[in-house]
């Protein structure tokens, strides 16, 4: 059995934990509600992930992320897999839907503030392949993302729905300044090499 973790990508060097204790506990409880135990049976894994910066009371720059994924050796028939590099041994294929939301510091401003990050959001589908070279103790992860950035990627709807659930959050009204919709394609590649083995 594989257990999922609460993905938390937000870092702060100025966080005063005493002042943020209530929000930290609230976010931790919310994270536990969003955690799911993934299960692995014949190389199948389901994943649900949630990022949020609520406990830091900052709600700007990278502010939220949602992930839904399914990984299985049974997804080998996906035609996109032909575009993904691979190593010789075992393969695991994945499909993931994710959204990443970014907001400026001046969210309540009635104009765009020069020098501040714009409202932006990415909504993408990812097709991935994980393959191993057991003899060389190497793993290759490749993926292809296809998605939308901007207004049609549902940033306003998702962020304000989350804010409706949190007692310490107010609605965000600045989404009329979101970047226009565009289509994006990303090809990702990562190599892991085992350096030290306990065996």
Query: Cβ contacts of residue 61 below 8 Å, gap of 6+?
Result: 102, 103, 105, 117
118-132 residues labelled b (16+ CB within 10 A) or e (exposed): ebbbbbbebbbbbbb
Would you mind telling me the total number of residues written for the chain in this entry? 199
Q: Where are the domains of the chain?
A: 2-193
Instruction: Convert the pLDDT of each residue in 15-34 to its tens digit.
Output: 333 334 445 555 555 554 54
pLDDT in tens, 145-166: 999 999 999 998 988 888 888 7
Find the angle CA(95)-CA(96)-CA(102) to the nearest 5 degrees: 160
The confidence band for 1, taking pLDDT boundaries of 50, 70 and 90, is very low
Distance CA 48, CA 17 (A): 27
pLDDT tens-place string over residues 67-106:
999 999 889 999 999 999 999 888 899 999 999 988 888 7
Which is higher by pLDDT, 69 or 2? 69
Could you count the other beta carbons within 10 Å of the beta carbon of residue 185?
9
Task: Please state the pTM of the whole predicted model.
Answer: 0.71
Cβ 163 vs Cβ 171: under 8 Å: yes
Residue 114: pLDDT band by 50, 70, 90 thresholds? Answer: confident
Contact between 104 and 92 (Cβ < 8 Å): no
Residue 191: band (very low, low, confident or very high) from pLDDT cuts 50, 70, 90: very high
Q: How far apart are CA 128 and CA 75, in angstroms?
A: 10
Per-residue pLDDT, 45: 87
């Amino acid at each position: 059995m594989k257990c999922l973790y609460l993905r938390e990508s937000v870092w702060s060097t100025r966080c005063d934990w005493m002042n943020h204790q209530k929000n930290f506990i609230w976010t931790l409880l919310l994270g536990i509600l969003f955690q799911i135990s993934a299960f692995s049976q014949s190389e199948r894994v389901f994943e649900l992930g949630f990022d949020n910066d609520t406990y830091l009371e900052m709600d700007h720059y990278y502010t939220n992320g949602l992930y839904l994924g399914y990984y299985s050796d049974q997804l080998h028939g996906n035609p996109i897999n032909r575009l993904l590099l691979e190593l010789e041994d075992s393969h695991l294929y994945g499909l993931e839907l994710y959204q990443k939301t970014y907001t400026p510091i001046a969210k309540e401003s009635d104009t765009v503030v020069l020098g501040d990050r714009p409202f932006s959001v990415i909504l993408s589908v990812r097709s991935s392949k994980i393959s191993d070279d057991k003899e060389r103790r190497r793993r290759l992860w490749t993926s292809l993302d296809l998605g939308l950035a901007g207004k049609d990627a549902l940033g306003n709807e998702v962020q304000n729905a989350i804010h409706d659930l949190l007692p310490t959050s107010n609605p965000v009204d600045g989404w009329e300044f979101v970047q226009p919709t565009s289509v994006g394609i990303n090809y990702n590649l990562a190599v892991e090499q085992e350096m030290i083995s306990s065996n």
